[in-house]
Structure 1
């Protein structure tokens, strides 16, 4: 990487195998026939955030560990295809992978192979510091070795964001990420009281903005101490898959933030991009481009 980039995405690279199932939860049976096929493609949370940012016109670089394996080759090819800068640190355990079961209504159940990551995994200190210092913003995935990267990233003074995904508000693993980030995204799915958790994040850490996404119900936005509801945006096509919707929301929100938009407008960007993501089959790695985002935000604002 040479010169300054807009966003450095740290962690979250990997490969998913997508299986469309007749229902979720899936009842026990000896076997199922999957007429839609079983497909493996590159793209986990960091990949999708990097892709979303790039499609929106932001210069993006991705740092993570990758194995010397077919799955790692898929991740490298995805970045080459979309012009996303990639610094891949060798991972002897192999590239992270998961199996996503997707129901007819687009809901997803993910099975993560945790054998591909270890608590002691770390990025080279100098590599991390150099990449972060050359970036306007850093988005940190909660995968290892992101946790070890937080002190170095904080020392650079570069603004940070993170996505806590389906955090329950209690699991201590997520807390350092919540405390370190200036912008925190979290799913409301496992939160008994989203507002309470959001305010606690803001009070404990550095967060200027906290967003809790709530799927078809929209989202909650906490900014400047005020909690507001972000209404849902109607998807532009039938909903087929919720995979990647949160990553799309985060990417579009960050696009708005880095282009000087107020939090409420950023949240609208996120809602529009998240709705679009739900219309994209999980077997494809795709994201909304800037022209489509601006057009649909204008329509949603009428």
Structure 2
């Protein structure tokens, strides 16, 4: 199994090359892939034999790990992304995205191909995602020496819930590095996401599928290691549990028309981690997250962009 690494992905690196990496603020684990974007007239989409898509159907790099890495890099954090990628056109799109934004990438060769999804996006910015789960193998594992070397060089690791990141959690805990994760639309019960929730110091989750978000947040903190738990609730803002205090963080008015909610949660997580790594209190971190998430909703699904550091800080100071 080969690991291709470096800022410009211009060679094949062995373990020794990875061990030479130093000075990473955040290692992003997993979540690299390509989405095919289809703008549809409404969601749910009524059955029809066919639809004419005048806006085009476009493939672009950017799944959850890519967007978190993009957000972190835009905020000036030294970011490194580790995941499996195929030797295919989709993998080339992911590599190009990282090179364009100066994000270091270590790509483990994946014979099954690069992860892919189809996103149906409605006029009001809502989306329905169809994930291709065939782009992986049950026995996939990150090379342990590569994982340990990158973790040792990092201040923090953000772990996507894509396979095989769950298998990396014990190694990361042993390495003693801080961990965050995003459970996305967890129902509060599925044991797969629960393993991530209980292993992380900072947990993000969407409130969408949670019957009682507050109770779930407290359960995560009581049973796991989390110092902060955030449940994002779209236009209703977010809920923050830090220590024993649970507070509501209001939503922020987007700086432009809402065109797509895809990536808003990833932007929130990146900005929250930016604040945390700069010693900001949890409430301030969540406010950073709300600002970045609102900005992400103004970025078309066919593009990849994140709120820059100077703009985030200016908006935060103006509130």
Task: Name the TM tier (shorter chain).
Answer: over 0.9
* Aligned equivalent of 2:176: 157
Deviation, 1:117, is 1.9
Q: Distance between the aligned counterparts of 1:298 and 1:246, measured in 2? A: 22
Q: Distance between the aligned counterparts of 2:315 and 2:260, measured in 1? A: 20
Q: Secondary structure at the match of 2:36?
A: strand
Deviation, 1:209, is 0.2
Per-residue displacement from partner, 1:231-266 (whole Å, max 9, x unpaired)?
Answer: 010000010000000000000000000011000000
* Aligned equivalent of 2:30: 11
Q: Distance between the aligned counterparts of 1:147 and 1:119, measured in 2? A: 12
Corresponding position: 1:52 with 2:107: no
Within 5 Å, give how 1:166-245 maps onto structure 2.
Answer: 166-245=185-264
Deviation, 1:160, is 0.2
Q: Distance between the aligned counterparts of 1:283 and 1:296, measured in 2? A: 25
Q: Distance between the aligned counterparts of 1:251 and 1:96, measured in 2? A: 21
* Aligned equivalent of 1:268: 287
- Structural RMSD (CA): 0.6
Q: Distance between the aligned counterparts of 1:99 and 1:261, measured in 2? A: 37
Deviation, 1:121, is 1.3
Per-residue displacement from partner, 1:46-67 (whole Å, max 9, x unpaired)?
Answer: 0000000000000000000000
Corresponding position: 1:68 with 2:87: yes
Q: Secondary structure at the match of 1:173?
A: helix
Within 5 Å, give how 1:5-44 maps onto structure 2.
Answer: 5-44=24-63
Q: Distance between the aligned counterparts of 1:78 and 1:34, measured in 2? A: 26
Runs of 5+ consecutive residues of structure 2 not aligned to the other structure = 1-17
Runs of 5+ consecutive residues of structure 1 not aligned to the other structure = none
Residues matched between the structures, number: 300
* Aligned equivalent of 1:105: 124
Q: Secondary structure at the match of 2:185?
A: coil
Corresponding position: 1:83 with 2:90: no
Deviation, 1:296, is 1.2
Per-residue displacement from partner, 1:2-60 (whole Å, max 9, x unpaired)?
Answer: 22210000000000000000000000000000011100000000000000000000000
Deviation, 1:119, is 2.9
Q: Distance between the aligned counterparts of 1:298 and 1:29, measured in 2? A: 49
Of residues 115, 121, 129, the one that matches 2:140 is 121
Corresponding position: 1:133 with 2:187: no
* Aligned equivalent of 2:301: 282
Q: Distance between the aligned counterparts of 1:268 and 1:119, measured in 2? A: 39
Q: Distance between the aligned counterparts of 2:200 and 2:265, measured in 1? A: 17
* Aligned equivalent of 1:294: 313
Q: Secondary structure at the match of 2:275?
A: helix
Q: Secondary structure at the match of 2:304?
A: coil
